[in-house]
Amino acid sequence: MGDGANVFNTFSFNKWADGKREEEIDKESRRRRAEQIKRLKERLRKERALRESAGDGDLDLEALIEALQRGEVINPDNVPEPAVQRPMTRPTKTDDVAPKSEELSDEYIFNEINLYASTHPHGNAVPISKTDTRHWQYNRRNHDEDASRKAIQQVMRYLNWLAVVVLSSLRGLETSNETVKTRLNFEFFKFFSKSGHHVVDQEIPKITIPNISFPITTPLGAGSVSTDELKIDKFSTPHIDFLLTSSGISWGSRGGGVKLRGLWGAEFTQVVTVRDSGWVQAIATDIRLNLSAKVFALDGKPQIDIGECTVDIVHLDVQIGGSVISWLVNLFRTPFSALLKTVIHNQACVAAQGILLEESNKFLHSLPSHVDLGKHFYADYYLVANPRSTDEFVEVILSADVVYGNTTCKSSSNVSWSEAGVNPGMVTMWIADAVPNCFLASIHRGQLVQLLLTKNSPNFAGYLRTSCGLLSLCVGRFFPGLKQFPNQFVDVLFHTYKEPLLVSDPKKGLLLNMTIAVDLYINPMKTHPHDVLARIGLNTSTSVFPKLLPGGKIGGDLGYSNLDLYGVFSSIGEISPRFLRAFDSLLRETSKELVRTILRLGFPIPSLDNVTVADTTKIGVLNGHIRLNIDFEYK
């Protein structure tokens, strides 16, 4: 009996304990759901405030929140919700502990919602396009409003929710928009080393050499010697050799020389103190300086960081004069020469890592990111990442645009740079289609591409008459409304109607697609520029084979050109197919001339000082971009 009672009591206790555990779990689950609803309530309130600020407020949002708190099902289908499965075990100390309620993140709530949705289906999914989610009973809006407005608002709700999720997932990530990749090959650095001599020759003599002071100690006595006004009197730039490595750029110098001049003063005490002074001159030749450096991006502009630095002076000649006590000079001549050599060693690296580096970086950082290319054309650039270095080149990736005037352009590019058949010059440059397309959009917005045909244009005067004889052909024959302008002429203005689009194709070259408007005015157009009598649309597709133009620009030759004519509007009569056919031959030649105008204008390549692009530069067309193998020359 006693054993049976113990078994029964143990069973009852375990059952009671299990019940208490389930009760605690259920209590914790309710608390967490309440916390989630609280967070969602705040998010819904913010969403309502955003929509109301945009003129799309929802007066029933409070009812929605209250319904959520009561646990009501929104827009239920006729499918019963399955029973909630309760957990059978409590978390242990080794289990993953759920975050505290006050620490619940948005991501944690989203994960809980997704988990609940995946385990508690409410019916088959219905395509969004066939669902009006606003038929819920708490939404008292007029459901007979315009269907397009319904669709827009529905899409915006989904986009608002999607934006929250996407922005959360992208938090901390950076994006780059690569439109230009530039590779500075080894030949470029050889070319560059020849151009920096005048800068170095001017800057090095400005360096201040610190005064030297050291003691003199002998068995006969002691003293000291010091220098004053020690300066670089003359400097000859050494020959510089570059070495490219994966960790950056290294270069070494050989040859060259420097001449130092200054004053010295000495005192020596044996029994009495003797003082003397004079001048000192040092000539160092064959200075061998070895530096390593790397390039990085700061505010989208290049900067240089100097790494290791060593200096060796092969020949050093020190002359000391002006003294009247020769034995005193002999006491410090040898140690002074050695110390001066050490000072030159140290100061050369200090200069390279200090003043020269600082001045170079100041200059690089001061370079404008909006570069004037001349004739109101500008280049905008930004380094999207730190440059990459190998033993053959240094590579820089940019986000860059070429624009006209004060226009701006946000280019978007997702191109794979092709390495096939690279024949590097001094610089290899890849340019995505986004760059010329930005340029074309810029000159379109600037109304730069225009061609006006008037009665003074060769070979066109007869066709532009408003009145002509029975056997003549003129524009007045096709438009009856021109009879109100007898014996006059029509001006025809060709201009871009939409932004042109360029596509690079390795087989067809550069494909240029344009929509051109052909506007008809009564001559002279400038007296009534807004009175367009008729407009004809012209779609053109043109193949262009690029080449280098004089003055450092990318232009090209015209390949094939297709066009399609259509009427847009007319106030002087119908634009008939007969007129379009008759005008076709004229427009074909005109459209070709318009494209040739753009090609003659070209896409400017930035230049600096007297350095220009050499004729040996090559241009290649690849998928989605062009590639330039550029050589430079001095003019």
**238 within 8 A of 255, measured Cβ to Cβ:** yes
Based on the domain organization, do 224 and 83 belong to the same domain? no
Based on the domain organization, do 215 and 68 belong to the same domain? no
**Helix boundaries (H) for 85-140:** 106-119
Q: Total domain count for the chain?
A: 3
Burial 356-373 (b: 16+ CB within 10 A, else e): bbeebbeeeeeeeeebeb
Identify the bridge partners of residue 289 per DSSP, sorted by sequence position: 311
Band of the pLDDT at 396, cuts 50, 70, 90?
confident
Last residue of a domain, one of 292, 323, 356: 356
> Does residue 108 sit within a domain?
yes
Q: Is the pLDDT score of 218 beyond 70?
A: yes
Give the model's pLDDT for residue 147.
42
Per-residue pLDDT reduced to its tens digit, 423-439? 778 889 898 998 889 88
Q: Measured in whole angstroms, how far is the alpha carbon of residue 141 from the centre of its chain?
A: 46
User: What's 327's domain CATH number?
Assistant: 3.15.10.10
Give the model's pLDDT for residue 571.
94
DSSP code of residue 462: T
Amino acid letter, 504: S
Q: Is the pLDDT score of 145 beyond 60?
A: no
Question: Which residues form the domain of 199?
Answer: 189-356
Q: Name the least confident of 97-106, 132-141, 476-485.
A: 132-141
pLDDT top residue among 54 and 50? 50
> Does residue 505 sit within a domain?
yes
Per-residue pLDDT reduced to its tens digit, 559-601? 888 888 999 999 999 999 888 887 787 667 766 777 788 788 8
Q: Tell me the average pLDDT of the chain.
A: 72
Based on the domain organization, do 347 and 417 belong to the same domain? no
Band of the pLDDT at 167, cuts 50, 70, 90?
very low
DSSP count for the chain of H helices, then E strands = 10, 24
Based on the domain organization, do 14 and 105 belong to the same domain? yes
Mean pLDDT score, 169-175: 35
> Does residue 366 sit within a domain?
no
Based on the domain organization, do 611 and 468 belong to the same domain? yes
**CA distances to 49, 135, 631 from 74, in Å:** 22, 10, 69
Per-residue pLDDT reduced to its tens digit, 85-118? 333 333 333 344 444 444 455 555 556 555 655 5
Band of the pLDDT at 257, cuts 50, 70, 90?
confident
Give the model's pLDDT for residue 344.
66
Give the model's pLDDT for residue 114.
57
Does residue 506 have a cis bond before it (omega within 30 degrees)? no
Give the model's pLDDT for residue 487.
92
**Helix boundaries (H) for 446-547:** none
Indicate the pairing of strand 213-218 with strand 490-496: unpaired
Last residue of a domain, one of 356, 382, 410: 356
Based on the domain organization, do 305 and 402 belong to the same domain? no
> Does residue 311 sit within a domain?
yes
Based on the domain organization, do 427 and 547 belong to the same domain? yes
Based on the domain organization, do 432 and 577 belong to the same domain? yes
Based on the domain organization, do 308 and 441 belong to the same domain? no
Please name which of 336, 332, 239, 216 lies closest in space to residue 282, comparing C-alpha atoms. Answer: 336
Based on the domain organization, do 348 and 453 belong to the same domain? no
Phi, psi values for residue 290, rounded to 5°: -120, 125
Q: Is 468 helix (H, G, I), strand (E, B) or coil?
A: coil
User: What's 537's domain CATH number?
Assistant: 3.15.20.10
> Does residue 181 sit within a domain?
no
**254 within 8 A of 241, measured Cβ to Cβ:** yes
**390 within 8 A of 308, measured Cβ to Cβ:** no
What DSSP letter does each residue of 252-269 carry, written as one string? EEES-EEEEEEEEEEEEE
Query: How far separated are the first and last CA of the chain, in Å rounded?
Result: 116
Based on the domain organization, do 303 and 442 belong to the same domain? no
Based on the domain organization, do 540 and 429 belong to the same domain? yes
Band of the pLDDT at 388, cuts 50, 70, 90?
confident
> Does residue 166 sit within a domain?
no
> Does residue 563 sit within a domain?
yes
> Does residue 149 sit within a domain?
no
